[in-house]
Amino acid sequence: MENNQPEESLILESIDRFLERDVKPHVREWEHDDIYPHEVVAQMKEMGLFGAIIPQEYGGLGLSASTYAKIVERISVVWMSLTGIFNSHLIMSAAVQRFGTGEQKQRFLPRFATGELQGGLALTEPDCGTDLQAIRTSATREGEEYTVNGTKTWISNGIHGNCLALLVKTNLSAEPRYKGMSLFIAEKGEGFSVSRKLEKLGYKGIDSAELVFENYKVPASNLIGGEEGLGLNHTLAGLELGRINVAARGVGVARASLNEALAYAQVRQTFGKPIAQHQAIQIKLADMATRVEAARLLVESAARAYDQGQRCDMEAGMAKLFASEAAISNSLEAMRIHGAYGYSKEFNVERYYRDAPLLAIGEGTNEMQRIIIAKQLVERNPI
Ligand SMILES: Cc1cc2nc3c(=O)[nH]c(=O)nc-3n(C[C@H](O)[C@H](O)[C@H](O)COP(=O)(O)OP(=O)(O)OC[C@H]3O[C@@H](n4cnc5c(N)ncnc54)[C@H](O)[C@@H]3O)c2cc1C
């Protein structure tokens, strides 16, 4: 966190006011109708969220990952989708901030911070997500520009965004494969089109799109770091922040599920008393609350390591794994506690139940998190 940044508590209070006043009253309607919340996005830009972790010298708020995670948790308690609109945007920004040339930082970061350039990350392709080294989108250099051809899918902000960090192969036959991978900042233009909007179980409101690149020209000066072959490293480093964000979303959804279940259990009566007084329900509530607290502590620990500049793939992986599973478990338990009302579209619980499973998939599946954690355990504890 930079020294002259606004007090964390003031920022969190203003986020709470914004959520209470401008989001909560509309969220069920927007979510069920899958409406992109343009006005709220404009407000989030005004509040500086598109530049939350961009340094102040480039026009951002310069917040620490720890403060950022608290913001994400709060927003996710009300509507998780909103965090997706600026999260992958900030991973794109972090890639430029950490690995871009001085000229790239000057050119892009101020425009990212205001949200004038708004977007995310284009990594996944129809035939590969986890195995990113198998991507086939290619970029071939001709003079001072590259020509890009290929298809990306599941790209968050692909429709309403105007700029993406685009992972490509600049050498299709390189061995090992990652040496042929490069990351570009790609602004929308001729040859870069949206082929379709993808329909989803949950995580509505935010756009997920399939994108096609057909002889799309990107200037060589947009190659992050100015050197080919470093794209996978740049991407994986950015995903540490992404995983902290997904974990914070998990805490938010797990907490929202607990809040609603706790309130409902005190008003719903069976056999002459509130269901909160039945032991079977008490056990559920206790487990749900414990998961929320444990998940939050893991997020705080990963964010602290990130802020200290430490390698934190294991910490971010643990936080992401535990918090996303906590969100999945808590949303199901909240549904059980609500009985039939949990299955009703008139209550929020059914949304949490539809949103939570995404957290086990995005920013690296939970299977992959376990593999990362195990590899780091061995690497950090040699015998
Ligand atoms: C709503 C949504 C938004 C998304 N947003 C973006 C975005 O903005 N940008 C972007 O680039 N992508 C995005 N994605 C894509 C997401 O990152 C991928 O779906 C994810 O990385 C998994 O890839 P996959 O779906 O191809 O699954 P696959 O890689 O095909 O995996 C299938 C299954 O096999 C498992 N598996 C794979 N390899 C191994 C292994 N070695 N060991 C054990 N198990 C393994 C996986 O864990 C999974 O269970 C989004 C996806 C969704 C659903």
Q: Could you tell me if residue 217 is inside a domain? A: yes
What tens digit of pLDDT does each residue of 15-56 get?
999 999 999 999 999 999 999 999 999 999 999 999 999 999
Distance CA 362, CA 360 (A): 6
Residue with tokens 């086990």: 360
Q: Could you tell me if residue 1 is inside a domain? A: no
The average pLDDT across 312-325 equals 96
DSSP structure class, residue 240? H
Q: Looking at residue 214, which CATH number applies to its domain?
A: 2.40.110.10
Q: Determine the residue of 152, 207, 320, 361 to mutate for testing ligand 1's pocket, defined as the one with the most ligand atoms within 8 A of the Cβ atom.
A: 361
Give the Å distances, CA to CA, from 279 to 26, 260, 283, 284: 36, 18, 6, 9
Token code pair at residue 246: 């997904």
Nearest residue (CA) to ligand 1, atom 43: 367
Residue where one domain finishes, among candidates 92, 114, 136? 114
Mean pLDDT, the chain, rounded, equals 96
What ranges make up the beta strands (E) of the chain?
119-122, 138-142, 145-156, 163-169, 181-187, 192-197, 208-219, 269-270, 273-274
Q: Which of 179, 188, 173 is nearest to 222 (CA)?
A: 188
Instruction: Collapse the DSSP code of 259 into the 3-class scheme (helix H, G, I; strand E, B; otherwise coil) and give the result.
Output: helix
* Pocket-forming residues, ligand 1, beta carbon under 6 Å: 88, 120-124, 128-131, 154-156, 200, 203, 208, 358, 361-362, 365, 367-368, 371
Q: Which of 170, 151, 75, 166 is nearest to 120 (CA)?
A: 166
Q: Looking at residue 27, which CATH number applies to its domain?
A: 1.10.540.10
Residue where one domain finishes, among candidates 85, 114, 143? 114
Nearest residue (CA) to ligand 1, atom 29: 130
Looking at the structure of the chain, the number of domains it has is 3
> What is the 367 CA–ligand 1 centroid distance (Å)?
10
Nearest residue (CA) to ligand 1, atom 41: 368
> What is the 128 CA–ligand 1 centroid distance (Å)?
8
Which range marks the domain in which residue 257 is found? 233-380
* Closest ligand 1 atom to 368 CA: 47
Share of the chain above pLDDT 90, in %: 96
Q: Tell me what pLDDT residue 237 has.
A: 86
The average pLDDT across 138-149 equals 98
What tens digit of pLDDT does each residue of 156-207 get?
999 999 999 999 999 999 999 999 999 999 999 999 999 999 999 999 999 9
Same domain, 57 and 110: yes
Same domain, 222 and 100: no
Q: Is residue 91 predicted with pLDDT exceeding 60?
A: yes
> What is the 122 CA–ligand 1 centroid distance (Å)?
13
Give the Å distances, CA to CA, from 315 to 34, 324, 364: 34, 14, 14
Same domain, 74 and 104: yes
What tens digit of pLDDT does each residue of 206-243 get?
999 999 999 999 999 999 999 999 999 999 988 889 99
Kindly indicate the confidence band of residue 344, based on its pLDDT and cuts at 50, 70 and 90.
very high
Q: Tell me what pLDDT residue 1 has.
A: 54
Q: Could you tell me if residue 187 is inside a domain? A: yes
Same domain, 225 and 240: no
Catalytic residues: 363
